[in-house]
Structure 1
Amino acid sequence: MTQRVRRDINDLVADYANGNTKPMDDLITAWAGIQALDPGDDNSFFKIAGYHGMPFRGAGWGNLQWWGGYCHHGNVLFPTWHRAYLFRLEEALRTIVPTVTLPFWNEANNVTATDGIPDIFLQRSYKLNGEEIPNPLYSYTLQKDLIDNLAVDGAINPYNYSKKATYTTVRYPQAGLVGTAKDQATSEAQNKLYSDPVQNAKLLNENVKTWLLQETYVGSDGSKTDAGTRKKYANCLNAPNYTVFSNTTSAQAWNQEKSSQDPTIVPLESPHNDMHLAVGGFEVPNFDASHIHGAQGDMGENETAAFDPIFFFHHCWVDNTFWQWQVKHNKEQNTMHALSLIENYPGTNSVDSQGPTPGVAGGTWLTLDSPLYPFKSPFDSTAWATSTEMTNIIKLGYSYENVPVGSPLLGTMPVKPAQVVAHLSGVNKADVRGSFMVGVFGTIAGKEQLLGMESILSRWHIDGCGACQVHSNVKVHLPLHGITHDDVDKADSNFYARVITRGGLDSQAKNGDELKPLLSIIKKQV
């Protein structure tokens, strides 16, 4: 079997600029091909994108206590399920162009930090074989309706997330909330205001770069430290075991147990969530900058995130980072125990975080041999894929360009443990409409500023029942990079926490109450 190599998308862009158009032409041809297939075709983009969230199936089709998408978030199957997902999408692309592979968008290198999103995702058209065609990486137009059956009052429900056929995916600063007449009118007004694709690309790039390079002040001297998403990608490689590396639920439990001692663990899922929100319409709060309210991109919610083509290039980087962690910790070999789980730990049950997925019973303990529905095993088409099979990408037949064994790409980025950690609680996902952020603010050197934040990638409907509330409670241990013990001891530091939604800092719960996270500041032993 010939090993397929997944390359950096920017390298394909560079090849194209230097006259070697074939790699990019092949990629565009393959993507245009699967997007043109009948939505009922097993290899169609509509069907594969729909595995992640909408259209819902199983108990989650009409029951708020279940998740109607197949994707796993907030549990130990997050990295392996998405690895299987990318593999399935790549296999579909190869039915159109047999030699094509899925490139990754390197979200942690200096090119992205300087330029933002690769240009190929921002161009509305592409010249293929001398003809201008719609760029299949820019957006996707639904071929079938996505009906929100959880909106029990139909079109008049204020939380209806339905999207009709002919709807085209959008990114920050545009809006794609169209489930009710009111939401549709609001989105149309937003998109009329931001109708220039060149200006929109500039705004999107600036937003993404701000997320990647968010800075905080260091004590009273005014110097700055890198505390953004790029640093999170580097920090996650230090997670000591797969369970806490894999997801936010397990990592937060670990951090709570070791709150005053060991360095705060950053799970892979955390920077992943950041980039979803950055592309999907959320801004890093800044007291010195104007804000664009009303952005509602598809990447910002799990229901439709996978219908934006950039989703798969983002997740290809997440999978690349997963592989880097495996290489660093010698977990890349496909033996039965290459990856291991802490049994019965938070994040190892189907009810944790998002709730059970179709085909999985509530209260099921998740293992490395749990079926990764709806994907078939790449080694036995009669069986379901498992995490054990997804461990070794070399055995799966692919590798990542520029990731030699023993030399992770992110390994040289300096990572210094934070002296101070903020613990936030008291917020429930069921109280918020869709995704949101929790942030910690304080007055340092006489200036009020954001000190750190965590993204909560969520969905539009979460039940408020007692059992669901328990598993939807948000607990965050947030390292405050650059904040010292002396800063904590100063009376004028004035630390406080806020929930940040698309409505900004002054956010309200769905019932109109103010969202007030509980905050405690912990000084680490250094």
Structure 2
Amino acid sequence: MGLSQSSHYSHVSHVRDIGRVIVTPYQEVYPRLEILEFYGNPTYALQFDLLIQGYQALQERPYEDMRSFYQIAGIHGLPYTTYDGVTGEYPYKSSEFDLGRWGGYCHHGDILFPTWHRGYIQLIENQLINVAKVIANKYPARQKKKYVEAAKQLRHPYWDWANEKALEGVPEVFLKSIVEINTPSGRKNVPNPLKRYYLPVDLSDRLPEGLNPDDKNYKVPNATYVPFTPKGYPTVRHPNNHYKDQYGVLNSNVSTYVQTVFRPGFYQMFHINDYLRFSNHALTSQGKELPAQSFGQHPSPDPNLTLGRAHFSSVETTHDSLHAVVGGTGGHMAHVDIAGFDPIFFFHHANVDRMIALWQEMYPDSWVPQNVDVNGTYTDLMYSIDYDNTDLTPFRKSKTEFWKSKDVRDIKKLGYTYPELEKLKGQDLKEIRNYIIELYKPDNFYEDRFFVKVTIESGKIRGTFVVRVFIDLPTANSETPVTSPHFAGFIAMWQGTSGHNHKNTLVYGTVDITAAMVRLGIRTQTHEFAQETNTTTGELDPTAIFNNYTDIKLVPVMIDGTELTTKAAGVKLAEIFSFKHDKVNKNFLDENTGKFHAIKEF
């Protein structure tokens, strides 16, 4: 940071105590709907009216109110203050921040990432529904009954950013300044609360002169700063030097990464059958998360690095990439500390929760094991032990109890579901898996699929960056366009800018390079060297040669475009694997068919 972190942005010292905020299940089960199906669809017009008015109401509440959008958004990271009186057994101290303890309540890089964020979406959904019910009762008598029913059925929509429709960019409903809705006093054009949120107080610390939106000659701060948002200024996405959203850049980026990052990420994720590997992006260098063994016949070059058997992307890994793509340099979504203040955050995480629910449907017997939380949270010490009975603070089940992972395992008991789960009722497990795996199949069927798994040490660099993967292009750098046929995808390091990026944590991600290999005419089949050797020279046919060690180029790039060296970025290893589709079920990649090709240390 440009200024000291010691204050921890604790400017909010007085809160409005109106009783504890309790997250309650709903009596009836209704589906959360995709925003593209929800917005502009006459079937859900009344629910949309209530959603917009609900978000308006939460954003307009006094910021001291625990039920306000400001307070709910601030649970995730900044302003690192107590929510609803919840301090935990080990209250957070600002002096611990620089030692590595995370100052927000959110869980990242540990096994509670899925369940904690499930509770988070439940909280804001609860508040929206409560407000919607009040608003519904204000409609004229001829409309009131229908709106009361709509409020009962309302659930928080999700944005499926890996759907092929996302190739068109971000849905219009998140970009429009004005939306037309029917209110209790008639049809109106109202400011769109899903586009942005205006901060009621300063957020973060002021940066050096010229990097704050209210400075003259403002310039977007680089990725190593948490952007400062002055009171009265809105959240932004890919801002320019006039603090205006650049939606052309935003839409272009989303469209570009649907096929290379988002869809392949989810497709890989659904092949993981173990909750530990599925749940989060982290490994620890002391062997506290995964067994200290590497995949296949190749031994780890460094026994201190736990490579494990994980070779596909976790749900958190793909989640991270969306944050980087939507926020951009200077945008709130790109920063862990302030992402929750952009309303699109909750639509993003509703989709992540949907992914978790679909994964649970595929692997119903795998759930939260006991494990280590390296980074800690506002209520949990670093290196504390988490399991399915750990409190998901600050989400209250009652005045004296908190929700736990074991409580949120069955979403129907919480009162919601997702459309795909409704379609799968009554089907056996094989049919369920076949259906779900097809949802995000990124490309045509290939007998062999090739993957590059990258292991990165967290905390080497402050701020969010990505590691781009190029194949068969040794000259690739940060200027090489991601539209290049050599670009295979990226791994996002969505992280803060300060001491809470613990240096004992390794993050891993996997890029499927198969489609790029096919584009470039690189063989993916098993080589038949007898047929590929020139009988005169004894040399291999050039079209058959692909050097797994030298022909994979990793390019770490900050979200502002600055290129990093692999060493500076903390890149430790690149491993190349291939897997065959299972002969019984061509959609599934069987670990037993995996082949190790190369490992490269950095």
User: Normalising by the residue count of structure 1, what TM-score does the alignment of the two structures yield?
Assistant: 0.77
Counterparts of 1:441 and 1:209 in 2: how far apart (Å)?
A: 19
After TM superposition, the structure 1 = structure 2 runs for residues 201-350 of structure 1, keeping only pairs within 5 Å, are 201-214=247-260, 228-249=261-282, 257-260=293-296, 264-281=311-328, 295-331=329-365, 339-341=367-369, 343=370, 348-350=371-373
- What are the within-5 Å matches in structure 2 for residues 336-485 of structure 1? 339-341=367-369, 343=370, 348-351=371-374, 355-377=375-397, 380-404=398-422, 405=424, 406=427, 407=432, 410-413=436-439, 414=441, 419-425=449-455, 428-443=457-472, 449-462=486-499, 468-471=502-505, 473-482=506-515, 483=517, 484=524
Question: 1:8: Cα distance to partner?
Answer: 1.4
Give yes or no for contact 1:83–1:390 (8 Å, CA) kept in 2: yes
The residue type paired with residue 190 of structure 2 is I
Q: Which amino acid aligns with 2:325?
A: A
Within a 5 Å distance, the mapping from 1:163-178 to structure 2 comes to 163-172=229-238, 174=239
Say if 1:53 and 1:71, in contact at 8 Å, map to a contact too.
Answer: yes
Partner deviation per Cα, 1:360-418 (whole Å, 9 max, x = no partner): 122211101111110012xx442011000010011111111342245476432447686
Q: Distance in 1 between matches of 2:207 and 2:457?
A: 19
Cα distance between partner residues in 2 of 1:383 and 1:149: 38
Contact 1:452–1:480 (Cα < 8 Å) also in 2 = yes
Question: How has the CA–CA distance of structure 1 residues 204 and 475 changed in structure 2, closer, same or farther, with 3 Å as cutoff?
Answer: closer
Query: Aligned-pair distance for 1:475?
Result: 4.3
Aligned match for 1:105, one of 143, 155, 159: 159
- The structure-2 alpha-carbon separation of the partners of 1:424 and 1:255, relative to structure 1 and needing over 3 Å to count, comes to farther
* Structure 1 counterpart of 2:31: 5
For the Cα contact (< 8 Å) 1:5–1:398, is it kept in 2?
A: yes
Determine the C-alpha separation between the residues in 1 that align with 2:412 and 2:453: 39
Distance 1:160 1:203, change over 3 A: closer
Residue 118 (structure 1) shift: 1.5
Q: Is the 8 A contact 1:238 1:265 kept in 2?
A: yes
For the residues of structure 1 that align with 2:452 and 2:549, how far apart are their CA atoms? 17
Percent sequence identity over aligned pairs: 26
Query: Which stretch has the larger CA shift, 246-255 or 96-105?
Result: 246-255
Distance change in 2, residues 1:163/1:516 (3 Å): same
Cα pair distance change 1:382/1:488, threshold 3 Å: farther
Show structure 2 runs of 5+ residues with no match.
1-26, 82-90, 134-150, 213-220, 298-308, 476-483, 518-523, 528-543, 579-593, 596-602
Is contact 1:61–1:150 with CA below 8 Å preserved after alignment?
no
**Distance in structure 2 (CA, Å) of the matches to 1:340 and 1:279:** 30
C-alpha contact 2:31 2:417 (8 A) present in aligned 1: yes
The answer as to 2:131 corresponding to 1:96 is: yes
Contact 1:499 1:516 in 2 (8 A): no
Aligned partners of 2:34 and 2:160 also within 8 Å: yes
Q: Secondary structure at the match of 1:422?
A: strand
Whether the 8 Å contact between 1:161 and 1:460 is mirrored in structure 2 is no
CA distance in 2, matches of 1:450, 1:500: 14
Partner of 1:117: 170
Name the SS for the 1:266 alignment partner. Answer: coil
Unaligned 5+ residue runs, structure 1?
Answer: 176-186, 215-227, 282-294, 332-337
CA distance in 2 between partners of 1:90 and 1:438 (Å): 34
**2 CA distance for matches of 1:302 and 1:458?**
6
Q: What is the RMSD of the two structures over their aligned residues, measured on CA atoms?
A: 3.4
Cα displacement (A) at 1:205:
1.7
| CA distance in structure 2 between the partners assigned to 1:492 and 1:370 by the alignment | 43
**Would you say the 8 A contact 2:264–2:512 is kept in 1?**
no
Aligned to 2:40: 14
Kindly report which structure 2 residues correspond to 1:17-56, keeping only aligned pairs within 5 A, or say none: 21-56=45-80
Query: Secondary structure of the equivalent of 2:454?
Result: strand
What is the distance in 2 between the residues matched to 1:124 and 1:255? Answer: 50
**Do structure 1's residue 81 and structure 2's residue 116 form an aligned pair?**
yes
In structure 2, distance between residues paired with 1:272 and 1:383: 29
Indicate the SS of the match to 1:373. strand
1:384 partner letter = F
Number of the residue aligned with 1:517: 571
Alpha-carbon deviation of 1:243? 1.1
- 1:356 and 1:445 map into 2 onto residues whose CA distance is 40
1:32, CA displacement in angstroms?
A: 0.5
Partners of 1:171 and 1:75 lie apart in 2 by 27
Match of 2:538 in 1: none
The answer as to whether partners of 1:255 and 1:477 remain within 8 angstroms in 2 is no
Q: Quick one: distance in 1 between partners of 2:459 and 2:123?
A: 32
Alpha-carbon deviation of 1:74?
0.8
What are the within-5 Å matches in structure 2 for residues 175-214 of structure 1? 187-188=241-242, 191=243, 195=244, 200-214=246-260
Tell me how far apart the structure 2 counterparts of residues 266 and 232 of structure 1 sit (CA, whole Å). 6
Aligned match of 2:535 = none
Amino acid paired to 2:336: N
Equivalenced residues, count: 451
DSSP 3-state at the match of 2:459: helix
Which whole-Å CA distance do the structure 2 matches of 1:240 and 1:383 have between them? 31
CA distance in 2 between counterparts of 1:491 and 1:520 reads 10
Alpha-carbon distance in 1 for matches of 2:549, 2:116: 46
Q: Distance in 2 between matches of 1:35 and 1:145?
A: 15
Q: Give distance in 2, aligned partners of 1:461 and 1:389.
A: 33
Seen in structure 2, the aligned counterparts of structure 1 residues 323 and 279 have a Cα distance that, compared at 3 Å, is same
Once the two structures are TM-superposed, the CA of residue 508 in structure 1 deviates from its matched residue by 6.7
